[in-house]
């Protein structure tokens, strides 16, 4: 295997892969930062409807600089635009959409994902000021909770782990992880490898993963555009 | 009936030391900056402030913290592009923090407004934020019991208002404002324009006047985001 940095997917490529699984007409919430990139790679011909916690359904990309209206922002406090059919609502209704199980997909970042689907993504537990936002609501109640992440930390530690050592955001909530090396499902308390980069062997990938990677049938090649 | 008040200063004049104050807005969107700044001029102390965030830059809630008005913040996300005011106060032990998941925060406020003292939610089950809270299983899933969240005063921002207290909002500036209006003993709304009763189509009213005690007109309200980009400070 060549250096991991040479073969691993960029965040844009991970976002592209995650976007392939979003169905036409799905109601989708994307976490602040990296997960927001998934919207840029919406598959042609599909029209997902994006939800933001602060009370908008059906928003579009950022406006041109100078055209911002600061009453029209997303959860990341960035200026957005509206698509035809967009709707405004107050915060309790916004979270009724989340907690009532009306959202089809939530895609978030992660510090750690455990093989039972536990997610840690809100606090390192190391003394930083705690800030949770809407993450705990999203992970417990969206119909499908997926994670986009590097496969390992900056220091090479696995982010897919046996059990989370960092404070949990939610329990047994994640069902699919799109990493910089693989696509991994979580089923019945185990990681199930679905796709991996052709440039990495199964054994090499297992060494970079903190719990057993099971397989069910053939593992597909994870192939993405250059972007 | 006339709930209009002439100035932000007059609207906030009765807010005492130790009050629990809900402040609408999500970041700067829908934040009642003029009411907040009028409150800073009055300078009540030892306030508990309920907002999604904990201030940005050196205006609005951040300026309240810098001026030493706030003893406790109840919020979901005490970070922002420039959270220095809250961060310094917190690290110096001058301000208490209660972090609440955003949906739980909204629902605790809504529950208070609807007279529901507690409710169950799946949010935070199995996490540190559920510690000490009762858990119950319903239909095979675990839920955490959360209490309502009331306030003495709510400061909110709306778009149009009438003397009866009926309000409309502007875009995503709606956010926490309508639920906070329901949950405080006294709700003070700043609006860009006061119109006559009947001028707002009843189909378009978002907050019916029963939830609103005072309406003060602030034409062309400042946007927190613009102030922050200008490096503004208050006072």
User: Closest to A95 (Cβ–Cβ): which among B79, B103, B178?
Assistant: B103
Closest chain A residue to B224 measured between Cα atoms?
Answer: A70
Pick from A113, A111, A114: nearest CA to A122: A111
Identify the domain containing residue A216 by its residue range.
Answer: 4-221
CATH assignment of the domain containing B204: 3.40.1080.10
Q: Tokens at residue A150, please?
A: 């590097």
Please count the helices (runs of H) and the strands (runs of E) in chain A: 5, 14
B window 1-20, beta carbon within 8 A of A: none
CB contact (8 A) between residue A131 and residue B97: no
Q: Which helix (H) or strand (E) holds B214?
A: strand B214-217
Q: Look at residue B132 and tell me if it is in a domain.
A: no
Looking at the 3D structure of chain A, how many domains does it have?
A: 1
Q: How many domains does chain B have?
A: 1
- Distance (Å, rounded) from C-alpha A62 to C-alpha B11? 36
Residue A70 has its nearest CB partner, among B100, B176, B225, at B225
pLDDT at residue A219 in the model = 97
Q: What CATH number corresponds to the domain at position A43?
A: 3.40.1080.10
Bond preceding residue B235 cis, omega within 30 of 0: yes
Find the angle CA(B166)-CA(B172)-CA(B174) to the nearest 5 degrees.
25
Assess if residue A129 is contained within a domain: yes
What proportion of chain A, given as a percentage, has pLDDT over 90? 94
**DSSP E strand stretches across B76-140:** 96-99, 118-121, 135-138
A93: closest CA of chain B, how far (Å): 9
Q: How many other C-beta atoms can be found within 10 angstroms of the C-beta atom of residue A221? A: 10
- Do the domain assignments include residue A227? no
Q: What pLDDT band is residue A126 in, cutting at 50, 70 and 90?
A: confident
Q: Please check whether residue B80 touches A, CB under 8 A.
A: yes
**Calpha distance A140→B121 (Å, rounded):** 9
Q: Is residue A226 part of a domain?
A: no
Residue A167 lies in a domain: yes
Q: Give chain B's length.
A: 235
A59 inside domain: yes
Q: How many CA atoms lie within 13 A of B26 on its CB side?
A: 35
Residues of chain B with pLDDT > 90: what percent? 100
**Cα diameter, chain B:** 55
**Which residues have CB under 8 Å from A48's CB, separation 6+?**
A22, A23, A24, A25, A26, A27, A28, A42
In a domain, B100, yes or no: yes
Which one is catalytic: A36, A44, A53, A212?
A53
Chain mean pLDDT for chain B: 98
Name the one residue in this structure whose structure tokens are 């199930």: A192
CB contact under 8 A, B87 and A129: yes
Q: Chain A within 8 Å of B103 (Cβ-Cβ)?
A: yes
Residue-range definition of the domain harbouring residue B21: 4-115+148-229
Asked if B67 has any chain A CB less than 8 Å from its own CB, the reply is no
Residue A51 in contact with residue A130, Cβ under 8 Å?
Answer: no
Q: Distance of alpha carbon A216 from its chain centroid, rounded? A: 23
Q: pLDDT grade, residue B23 (50/70/90)?
A: very high
C-alpha–C-alpha distance, residues A46 and A40, integer Å: 12
Q: Which three-class secondary structure state does DSSP give residue B21?
A: strand
Using the beta-carbon criterion (under 8 Å), do A167 and B127 form an inter-chain contact?
yes
Cα A159–chain centre separation? 14
Adjacent-strand bridge partners of A106: A29, A145
Number of A–B residue contacts, CB under 8 Å = 147
Give residue B73's pLDDT band: very low, low, confident or very high (50, 70, 90).
very high
Residue A131 lies in a domain: yes
A36 in catalytic set: no
Q: What is the pLDDT of residues B136-192, one digit of tens each?
A: 999 999 999 999 999 999 999 999 999 999 999 999 999 999 999 999 999 999 999
B192 close contact with A: CB closer than 8 A: no
Report which DSSP code applies to A161.
E
Q: Using a CB-CB distance cutoff of 8 angstroms, which residues of chain B are in contact with residue A132? A: 76-77, 99-102, 129
B residues 140-159 closer than 8 Å to A (CB) = none
> CA–CA distance from A45 to each of A2, A42, B167 (Å)?
37, 9, 39
Residue B220 lies in a domain: yes
pLDDT band of residue A125 (cuts 50, 70, 90) is: confident
CB B102 within 8 A of CB A95: yes
First to last CA, chain A: 23
For residue A134, which residues of chain B lie inside 8 Å, CB to CB?
76, 101-103
B229 DSSP 8-state letter = H
In a domain, B123, yes or no: no
The Cα A74–Cα A51 span in angstroms is: 9
pLDDT exceeds 60 at position A1: no
DSSP designation for B95: S
């Amino acid at each position: 295997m060549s250096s991991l940095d040479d073969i691993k997917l960029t965040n844009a490529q991970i976002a592209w892969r995650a976007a392939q699984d979003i169905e036409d007409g799905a109601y989708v919430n994307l976490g602040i930062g990296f997960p927001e990139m998934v919207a840029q790679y919406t598959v042609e011909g599909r029209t997902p409807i994006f939800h933001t916690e602060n009370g908008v359904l059906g928003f579009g990309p950022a406006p041109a600089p100078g055209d911002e209206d600061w009453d029209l922002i997303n959860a990341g406090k960035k200026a957005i635009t509206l698509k035809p059919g967009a709707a405004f609502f107050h915060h309790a209704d916004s979270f009724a959409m989340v907690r009532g199980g009306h959202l089809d997909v939530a895609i978030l970042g992660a510090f750690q994902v455990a093989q039972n689907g536990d997610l840690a993504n809100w606090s390192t537990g190391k003394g930083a000021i705690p800030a949770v936002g809407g993450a705990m609501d999203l992970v417990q109640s969206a119909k499908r909770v997926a994670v986009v992440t590097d496969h390992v930390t900056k220091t090479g530690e696995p982010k897919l782990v046996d059990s989370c050592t960092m404070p949990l955001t939610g329990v047994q909530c994640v069902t699919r992880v799109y990493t910089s090396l693989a696509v991994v499902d979580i089923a019945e308390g185990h990681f199930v490898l679905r796709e991996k980069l052709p440039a990495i062997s199964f054994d090499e990938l297992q060494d970079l993963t903190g719990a057993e990677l099971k397989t069910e049938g053939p593992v597909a090649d994870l192939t993405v555009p250059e972007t | 009936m006339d709930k209009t008040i002439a100035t932000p200063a007059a609207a906030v004049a009765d807010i005492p030391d130790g009050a629990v104050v809900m402040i609408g807005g999500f970041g700067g969107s829908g934040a009642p900056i003029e009411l907040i700044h009028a409150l800073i001029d009055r300078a009540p102390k030892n306030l508990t402030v309920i907002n999604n965030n904990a201030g940005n830059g050196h205006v609005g809630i951040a300026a309240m913290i810098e001026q030493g008005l706030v003893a406790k913040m109840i919020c979901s996300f005490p970070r922002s592009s420039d959270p220095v005011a809250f961060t310094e106060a917190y690290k110096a032990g001058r301000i208490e923090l209660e972090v609440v998941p955003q949906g739980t925060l909204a629902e605790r406020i809504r529950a208070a407004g609807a007279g529901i003292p507690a409710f169950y939610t799946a949010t935070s089950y199995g996490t540190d934020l559920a510690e000490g809270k009762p858990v119950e299983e319903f239909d095979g899933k675990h839920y955490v019991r959360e209490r309502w969240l009331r306030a003495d005063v709510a400061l909110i921002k709306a778009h149009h208002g009438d003397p009866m207290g009926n309000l409309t909002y502007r875009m995503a500036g709606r956010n926490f404002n309508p639920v906070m209006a329901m949950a405080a003993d006294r709700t003070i709304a700043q609006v860009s324009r006061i119109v006559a009763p009947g001028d707002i189509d009843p189909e378009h009213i978002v907050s019916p006047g029963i939830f609103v005690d005072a309406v003060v007109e602030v034409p062309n309200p400042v946007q927190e985001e613009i102030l922050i980009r200008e490096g503004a400070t208050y006072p």
